[in-house]
Amino acid sequence: MNARPQAAAVILVGAGAAGLSCALWLQSHDVPFRWLDACGRVGGTLHRVHHPVENYPGWMGATGAALAQQMAEQVARRGLLVERAFVECVDPAAGRVYVAGEAWLDCDSMVLATGTSPRRLALPGEAELEGRWIFHSSHVLAPSVRGARVLVVGGGDGAFEAALVLARAGAAVTLIHRSRSLRRVRARFAADVAANPAIEVVLGAQVRAWEVQGDALTATLDLAGQRTVRSFAAAVLKIGVVPNLPAVAQEVTRDASGHLVVDGLGRTTLPGLFAIGDVAANRVQSVATAAAQGAIVADVIAASWLARGDAL
């Protein structure tokens, strides 16, 4: 029931697991909504997950991209419409969102399921090097690294898993982390990395500059207060994520990483504005969490909508 009304009861932004779950439940509750996504495709950040998704009930360990494909097929079967549109600003107090090229759209409630993007070091020239020298996925890079030295930056599970993927693909890996401790790494990853002779772990190191020299990427490192330059075939950044958020017209509570703080019903500190999935400040960022939040928020909105006597 989201056949592109001019004034929808709900504007849902984002088509990952959280957005899909919310859309399915809004449809089942007969709540009219408009569903927008910057890419216009279902799956969201799952398209970046190249390793098996092993802890989502009923899913047998295939990749995130495969799960995204299953979700797209489900959307088609349900006759749902995902519009490609970039939401620049939300104004909960006025009940409207601003879509680039389309002006303001009115609604009663808005749900942000806009996910995250990989965090960058934000060094000069870094953006221009992405996709050729600097990557955020070890699986994308792995087929081309045999016999090469690759830098991995980060100190969590993602960085250690990336180092293992690249080492198993035949690369010599240098993994650096700015801290001198490894408290954020699960024991099994730390043990596997420590046992792999192809992986060098350097703690207390930070990248201060990138430069391409010939066929090599050089990284200027701050190591124990000393500057050193090392050359690599490529680098993989695994330093966390940042939430994808449009501008919000009113002050809204966020956590230290910029994620929107929500209560147990997905409500932000602004009436009419909900946040679900990875854009919200959740204890666990997962497909299961996202799907659950989407269902809960849809139910909350449906109950409110019906209570006002707006049901068709």
Instruction: Render pLDDT for 102-134 as a digit per residue (tens, 0 to 9).
Output: 789 999 999 999 999 999 999 999 999 999 999
Q: How confident is the model at residue 6 (pLDDT cuts 50, 70, 90)?
A: very low
CB neighbourhood size of 304 (10 A): 15
Q: Does the structure show a pLDDT above 50 at 312?
A: no
CA–CA distance, 97 with 225 (Å, rounded to integer): 48
CA distances (Å), origin 105, targets 20, 64, 87, 109, 142: 21, 32, 10, 11, 44
CA 263 to chain centre: 20
For 176-180, what is the mean pLDDT? 90
pTM here? 0.87
For 145-162, what is the mean pLDDT? 95
Instruction: Render pLDDT for 40-60 as a digit per residue (tens, 0 to 9).
Output: 999 988 888 877 888 888 888
Residue 309, pLDDT score: 65
For 209-232, what is the mean pLDDT? 93
Residue 182, pLDDT score: 77
Fold identical between 10-118+241-307 and 126-237? yes
Q: Does the structure show a pLDDT above 60 at 310?
A: no
Identify the CATH homologous superfamily for domain 10-118+241-307: FAD/NAD(P)-binding domain (3.50.50.60)
Percent of the chain with pLDDT over 90: 77
Does the structural domain 126-237 have CATH classification 3.50.50.60? yes
CA–CA distance, 251 with 34 (Å, rounded to integer): 25
Residue 311, pLDDT score: 45
Average model confidence (pLDDT) across the chain:
91
Count Cα neighbours of 55 within 13 Å in the Cβ-side half-sphere.
6
Domain ranges of the chain: 10-118+241-307, 126-237
Given CA atoms 110, 111, 113, 118 in this order, what sign does their dihedral have?
positive
Residue 251's region, left for phi above 0, alpha for psi from -120 to 50, else beta, is beta
Q: Does the structure show a pLDDT above 50 at 20?
A: yes
Instruction: Render pLDDT for 242-293 as a digit per residue (tens, 0 to 9).
Output: 999 999 999 999 999 999 999 999 999 999 999 999 999 998 889 999 999 9
Given CA atoms 157, 159, 163, 169 in this order, what sign does their dihedral have?
positive
